[in-house]
Homo-oligomer: A and B are copies of this chain.
Amino acid sequence: MIFSSDNWAGAHPVIAESLVKAAGGFASAYGTSELDKKVEKAFSEVFERDVAVFFVATGTAANSLALASANRPGGHVFCHREAHVNVDECGAPEFFSHGAKLSPVDGTHGKINPALLEKQIKHSRGGGVHGGQPMAITMTQATEAGTVYSLDEIDAIANIAKSANLPLHMDGARFANALVTLDTTPAEMTWKRGVDLLSFGGTKNGCWCAEALILFDTSKAEEMGYLRKRSAQLFSKSRFIAAQFDAYLEGGLWLDLARHANGMANRLAEGVAASNSTRLAWPTGSNELFVILKKETASRLEAEGAVFYDWPVPHTLAGSVAEDEGLYRLVTSFATQTADVDRFLDVVP
Q: Say yes or no: A74 contacts B19, CB within 8 Å.
A: no
Cβ-based interface call for A81 (8 A)? no
Write out the residue numbers on chain B whose beta carbons fall within 8 Å of the beta carbon of A15.
23
**Residues 46-85 of chain A, each 1 if its beta carbon lies under 8 Å from chain B, else 0:** 0000000000111111001000100011110000000000
Question: Among A27, A101, A129, A230, which residue has the most Cβ atoms of chain B within 10 A?
Answer: A230
Q: Say yes or no: A58 contacts B234, CB within 8 Å.
A: yes
A129 to B129 CA separation, bound complex (whole angstroms): 30
A182 to B243 CA separation, bound complex (whole angstroms): 36
Query: Within the complex, which residue of B7, B10, B25, B234 is in contact with A129, where a contact is CB–CB below 8 Å?
Result: B234
Q: Say yes or no: B23 contacts A10, CB within 8 Å.
A: yes
Q: Say yes or no: B16 contacts A23, CB within 8 Å.
A: yes
Write out the residue numbers on chain B whose beta carbons fall within 8 Å of the beta carbon of A148.
none
Copies in the complex: 4
A137 to B8 CA separation, bound complex (whole angstroms): 36
Instruction: With A8-B28, A26-B335, A232-B233 as known contacts, state yes or no: A94 contacts B90, CB within 8 Å.
Output: no
Instruction: With A23-B11, A208-B23 as known contacts, state yes or no: A130 contacts B237, CB within 8 Å.
Output: no
Cβ-based interface call for A108 (8 A)? no
Query: Within the complex, which residue of B127, B129, B232 is in contact with A96, where a contact is CB–CB below 8 Å?
Result: B232
A253 to B295 CA separation, bound complex (whole angstroms): 49
Cβ-based interface call for A177 (8 A)? no
Cβ-based interface call for A114 (8 A)? no
Q: Say yes or no: A98 contacts B101, CB within 8 Å.
A: no
A residues lining the B interface (CB < 8 Å) = 2, 4-5, 7-13, 15-17, 19-20, 22-30, 56-61, 64, 68, 72-75, 87-92, 94-102, 127, 129-133, 203-204, 208-209, 223, 225-237, 239-240, 307, 335
Please give me the 7 A-B residue pairs with the lowest Cβ-Cβ distance, nearest first: A94-B99, A57-B57, A61-B232, A74-B90, A95-B99, A7-B236, A208-B240
Q: List 16 A-B contacts (CB under 8 A).
A: A8-B27, A12-B23, A13-B20, A13-B23, A57-B232, A60-B232, A60-B234, A74-B230, A89-B230, A90-B226, A95-B230, A129-B225, A132-B226, A203-B237, A209-B209, A209-B235
